[in-house]
Amino acid sequence: MKPYSLRRRLLLWLFLATALLGLVALMDTWREALRTAQSVSDRVLVGSALAIAERVTLDESGGLEVDVPYSSLEMLTSTAQDKVFYRVDGPVGSFLTGYEDLAVIPAAPGGVAFADGAYGAVGIRSATLMREVSTGASSIPFSVTVAESTRARAELARAILLRSALRLAVLILGVACIVWIAVTLALRPLDRLGAAIAERSPDDLRPVTADTPQEAEALVLAINSFMTRLDTALAALRHFTGNASHQLRTPLAVVRTQLALIDRSATPAQTAVATGKAKTALERAERVLAQLLVLARVDAATGAATLQRVNIVAVAKDLTAEMVPLALSHRIDLGYEGATEATALAEPVLLAELLKNLLTNAIAYAGGGAVVTMRVLIIQQAVVVEVEDNGPGLSPEQTERAILRKRGAPTPARALSDDQETGFGLGLAITAEIAALFDAEIQLLTGAGGRGLLIRIKFPALA
């Protein structure tokens, strides 16, 4: 996807928003300019009509006469060279002087009326003023109508509109410059953030601590979260690689040695012994490889597994029944005891792997004639799973190494080799990682009577 410019986007939105608001403002300015020009024009028309009305008098015969002063019409002239029209009418519509074909606007006695119209092909604005002349015994009404073309009014409105548009254009350009500078300055922390990340080495996954504005805090948090997940994934890969390297080296070396002995065997008995040892080593390698695959699966599921309510008792009983034939082949008494129903948050497939791994290790290393018990308890509303045997258990050294492995700490290569020979390999590591995925607590204890091994896993209580 082609990257876009944040500056250009901001300027575009600013221009569109300002243009829209400016258009509305100019329309309002145009209407206001027309009202202002019309108000000024109306005052001048009334002033001109009043000047003419003051020169209407009675003649010797008692009729009306008028002497139109030049100043009354001169006040209507303008730089736009407007045309001026007038007429004076006596009572009952009798025409006295002026433009006889100029329309008279009906007005109340003593009042004034305005109207827009046309005189010939010229658009005009006219005002009609109603007045009376007193004869002593009575009053004679008359009207004065004055009109001028609207050219000056229109030019005044256009001048106001153009000045407003010019101011708005200057404002838009000024704001655009300010936004361009402000965005450039505001984006500098992001540039520094990008430079800080680019300068890092590929294996530097520490959280980013660059000085960033509040609006970019979510981006920094997302980057740090991604780095944490990436570091976890790389740690899991290193953990898997280390386990595979240590755990597979010994059985493969044994197989290679036994194959060499088979080539040198002088008798069928020696060949059979070497073949048996090679077969045993291959079975061990197969078992280790299966455990490594489970461990890789757990590492991949970390942070992505969807926990759900699982009936722990049902899974435990099914696995116990499934493992009975294997236990009988090792002369192990395998059984289940405890609750009839218990629910906890887990992932069903990984939960089955966890319990199966505990039972397999107990059956394989408890020794012939031992008793292995799968137990599910409910203690203070929390589900507790126990696998107990009365076999030889673990030595203090093995227990210490188990604690280290459970915590994810490195263990010496010799200790790993010893664990593999005694059967204490990846089993607890797999169990601990799955338990951690379920936020469950794992404990290594001594079995009843001070014999054997008791592994206890406590799941969090459901809310």
Class of the CATH domain delimited by 214-304: mainly alpha
CB-hemisphere CA count at 13 Å for 44? Answer: 22
Structure tokens at 184: 């450039």
Over the stretch 232-272, which tens digit does the pLDDT of each residue have? 777 767 766 666 666 667 677 777 887 888 888 878 888 88
What are the CA-CA distances from residue 430 to residues 69, 384, 418, 434, 442 (Å)? 115, 18, 18, 6, 12
Q: What is the DSSP letter of 207?
A: P
Closest CA to 419 of 288, 294, 238: 288
The Cα–Cα gap between 198 and 192 comes to: 10
What are the CA-CA distances from residue 105 to residues 41, 92, 125 (Å)? 17, 14, 11
How big is the chain, counted in residues? 463
Q: What is the pLDDT of residue 133?
A: 87
Q: What is the pLDDT of residue 145?
A: 92
Q: What is the DSSP letter of 149?
A: E
What are the CA-CA distances from residue 96 to residues 45, 87, 116, 140, 456 (Å)? 19, 7, 23, 13, 122
Q: Where are the domains of the chain?
A: 6-158, 214-304, 305-463
Q: What is the pLDDT of residue 320?
A: 94
Residues in the chain predicted with pLDDT less than 50, given as ranges, are 79, 304, 405-425
Question: Rounded to 5 degrees, what are φ and ψ at 339?
Answer: -65, 160
Rounded to whole angstroms, the maximal C-alpha distance in the chain is: 169
Over the stretch 41-76, which tens digit does the pLDDT of each residue have? 888 888 888 888 888 888 877 788 888 877 766 656
305-463 topology per CATH: Heat Shock Protein 90 (3.30.565)
